[in-house]
Each structure stands twice: as structure tokens, then as C-alpha cells.
């Protein structure tokens, strides 16, 4: 089934119940359970996808749209590495690629939703579980990976947006 068909079905169901043409509560409850399960799977799919930004390289604007619509994806732990890494950790890990461009939007939106806690700056100040030796946070890893003053200035300027 494609998204348009699913949306059409939802609109139809909504209109039936809204206008009280269909009043079977058991049917309604079953439909609501199915919608809740579908929503859970959608959140999981986007949450997992946030850990693969370096693979398919969406635009920064697309990433921002997703995290604004589904803020819980910012706290979605990477289940593939079983270390509890957040999307901001995964993005900083690929700092030699294009992933750091995502870090500012992940941090900015993460701050709004207190990812990592009140003072974690959207995940920037959370230790990356992958860096068990030094326990460096995302910001430290990014600045260490920056090559030269120009890169450091670029990383820092991204946070002024």
C-alpha cells in the first residue's frame, strides 16, 4: 500500500467517526491501536535512519524537518552498536565525511527538547559511549577532528545559526 492510499483510508475513517456515521467502538479501538502501532514503527524507522545520515546524506533542511516533526528521534539510541549512541554521536563519528554538517541542527533541536538533560546542550556535552578511553563528549571529538583553524571556525560558526 502506498502513502496516498493509506492517507485516503485514514481520511475516510476519520470522516465516518467524526460525523458519527459509524459508531462501533470496538472497531474504532482496533483502528486506533493499529494507528498507534504504525506511528511507533514510523518513529523507529526515522530514529534508526538518523544513525545512517552519512550513508544517504539527506539535506540539512530535511534532517531539520524530521527532527522538528519527530523530536523523539533525537534521543533514539543506535541499536546496531548496542552502546546507546545518540544520532549526534553517530554524526560526530563520521566527522571526516559530511556528517558534521548535521551536528548543528541536531544540537539546536536537541537543546529545545533537552536531549541528554538540562545542561547537555542538545547532546553536545554528553560523553560518546564509543570513546570509552577518554570519555570525550561530542563537542570535544568534533574540535579534535577539525583539521586546522578554518575547520574549527567552520564548526563553531555552525552553532551561531
Residue range 1-15, pLDDT digits in tens: 899 999 999 999 999
Q: Rounded distance, CA 66 to CA 79, Å?
A: 20
- Which comes out higher in pLDDT, residue 20 or 147? 20
Alpha helices per DSSP H over 1-146: 3-18, 25-49, 53-56, 60-69, 87-93, 103-112, 138-145
Q: What is the model's pLDDT at position 102?
A: 85
Q: Rounded distance, CA 139 to CA 116, Å?
A: 14
Whether the full predicted model's pTM is greater than 0.75, yes or no, is yes
* pLDDT, tens digit, 9 for 90 and up, residues 34-77: 999 999 999 999 999 999 988 888 999 999 999 999 999 998 88
Structural domain of residue 137, as residue ranges? 3-158
Q: Indicate the number of domains in the chain.
A: 1
- Mean pLDDT score of the chain: 80
* pLDDT, tens digit, 9 for 90 and up, residues 121-143: 777 777 666 666 667 777 776 66
Question: Residue 150 above 50 pLDDT?
Answer: no
CA neighbor of 99 nearest in space, from 90, 108, 107: 90
Which DSSP letter does residue 121 get?
G
Amino acid at each position: 500500500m502506498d502513502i496516498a492510499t493509506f492517507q485516503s483510508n485514514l481520511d475516510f475513517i476519520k470522516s465516518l467517526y467524526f460525523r458519527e456515521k459509524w459508531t462501533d467502538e470496538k472497531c474504532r479501538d482496533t483502528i486506533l491501536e493499529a494507528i498507534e502501532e504504525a506511528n511507533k514503527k514510523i518513529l523507529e524507522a526515522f530514529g534508526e535512519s538518523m544513525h545512517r545520515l552519512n550513508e544517504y546524506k539527506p539535506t540539512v533542511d530535511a534532517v531539520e524537518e524530521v527532527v522538528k516533526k519527530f523530536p523523539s528521534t533525537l534521543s533514539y539510541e543506535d541499536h546496531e552498536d548496542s552502546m546507546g549512541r545518540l544520532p549526534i554521536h553517530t554524526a560526530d563519528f563520521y566527522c571526516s565525511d559530511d556528517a558534521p554538517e548535521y551536528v548543528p541542527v541536531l544540537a539546536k533541536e536537541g537543546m529545545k527538547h533537552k536531549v541528554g538533560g538540562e545542561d547537555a546542550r542538545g547532546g553536545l556535552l554528553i560523553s560518546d559511549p564509543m570513546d570509552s578511553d577518554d570519555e570525550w563528549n561530542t563537542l570535544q571529538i568534533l574540535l579534535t577532528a577539525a583539521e586546522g583553524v578554518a575547520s574549527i571556525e567552520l564548526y563553531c560558526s555552525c552553532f551561531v545559526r
